[in-house]
Amino acid sequence: MKVTLVSTAAWLLWLALAPQAPPVPAAADLKTWLAGRATAFSGVVLVGRGDQVQLLEAYGVADRAAGRPNTVDTRFNLGSINKTFTAVALAQLIQQGRVSLDDPLAKHLPDYSNRAAAARITIRDLLSHRAGVATFMRADFGSASVAEMARMVAAEPQVFEPGARQEYSNGGYILLGRVIEVAAGRSYADYVAEHVYRPAGMTSSGFVTTADSGAVALGYFTADAQGRPMMGGPSVGSNPPAPGNPAGGGYSTAADLFRFARALQGGRLLDQKMSDYLLNGTFAAEPKFGFALREQMASGRRLVGNGGGAPGVNAEFRLEPAGDLTVVVLANSSPPAATDLLGEILTHATGSK
């Protein structure tokens, strides 16, 4: 075997010239930077490295009338992040053989009123927003059961033929919630609490009612001339807590979402094969959307996660499947409050600024 000796001087020169990874900002530097950036932000920000929380800060007010500030323990409306919990619950049932991605909806919901559509819609279609069912969240869902919501969705006409295209659908995830209930033999809320929140250590997550208003952040939004909520402009109205469903509207804390991200990445919610498929495999084909996660690149690093937005609601979380970074941003104001701040934090936290 031939051994090549390298002088100390040459070795040091190589080290000096070799490409170096961007430095990771220290927690104190990140906190100082964020304090200057978040002066008008109302919500909570968490940045984690591995299993350690590097930064956890609260800003703004949870209830303006009461003068109650946001704290790191305040619960925020997650909007469509609830779809990710629904998708993980469904992935568990697929892993157990109770559901298949290619199952027709009719197999699990034989009473679905549009029988022709139910015979053609697959679980895969519902997950990837290609089923063509109702695309909106109905105001009259209220406190209806998931079974009742599914019947409301079924009563709506198909928007397009199953599989024909991709179009974001809250109704599709309502139906997935009902599939979970039928396959698991228990309510959606009970299943997710036992099989998603509990193993992830999420002790402050779930649906809330107006009775819980003292523990949650009220959402502030712009109202039009008729008092109806709008997405943009200065915040002049507020949303009291309302019942959520499998498509959105659950509440959680930044710390609980961090625990969820670590549990998902660490294989505590799904086995290794399904975890890898969830975090990586569903993005290999077009459209790159499956199991209610989306991709985002930051300084050449790949992250996945989900977000939610509505008048007075904006929530985002991202985790790095091949790295150690997790970022959670929760806001009690309309988009893009959390979405914009998330992008800036990812840029800063990956060392490109």
Residue 4, in any domain of the structure = no
Alpha carbons 292 and 227: distance in angstroms, whole number = 32
pTM (two decimals): 0.89
**Joined tokens for residue 245:** 């469903």
Nearest one of 245, 241, 262, 253 to 204, comparing CA atoms: 253
> What's the total number of domains in the chain?
1
Instruction: Give 147-153 contacts, CB < 8 A, sequence gap 24+.
Output: 147/178, 147/181, 149/174, 149/177, 149/178, 149/245, 150/109, 150/112, 150/174, 150/175, 150/177, 150/178, 151/113
Residue 101, in any domain of the structure = yes
Q: What's the one-letter identity of residue 184?
A: A
Q: What is the pLDDT of residue 226?
A: 67
DSSP single-letter state for residue 23? P
Residue spans of the chain under pLDDT 50:
1-8, 10-24
Phi/psi class of residue 287: alpha, beta or left (left: φ > 0; alpha: ψ in -120 to 50)?
beta
Nearest one of 24, 18, 62 to 43, comparing CA atoms: 62
Q: What share of the chain is helix, strand, coil (3-state, %, to 5)?
A: 40, 20, 40
How many CB atoms lie under 10 A from the CB of residue 102?
10
Range of the domain at 205: 24-349
CA angle 309, 81, 48 (to 5 degrees): 105
**Joined tokens for residue 28:** 């104190």
**Joined tokens for residue 225:** 């001339």
Residue 61, in any domain of the structure = yes
Kindly give, in sequence order, each residue whose CB lies less than 8 Å from that of residue 1, ignoring residues fewer than 6 positions away: none
**Joined tokens for residue 318:** 């991202």
Q: What is the pLDDT of residue 237?
A: 65
Q: What's the one-letter identity of residue 77?
A: N
Q: What is the CATH number of the domain that holds 95?
A: 3.40.710.10
Residue 10, in any domain of the structure = no
Q: What is the pLDDT of residue 288?
A: 66
Residue 341, in any domain of the structure = yes
> DSSP H helical segments within the chain, as ranges?
8-17, 27-37, 82-95, 105-108, 115-120, 123-127, 146-155, 170-184, 188-192, 198-200, 254-265, 272-279, 337-349
**Joined tokens for residue 238:** 């507020």
CA angle 334, 339, 340 (to 5 degrees): 100
**Joined tokens for residue 288:** 């790159």
Residue 14, in any domain of the structure = no
Residue 3, in any domain of the structure = no
Please check whether residue 253 is in contact with residue 204, taking contact to mean a CB–CB distance below 8 angstroms.
Answer: yes
Residue 144, in any domain of the structure = yes
Alpha carbons 293 and 63: distance in angstroms, whole number = 31
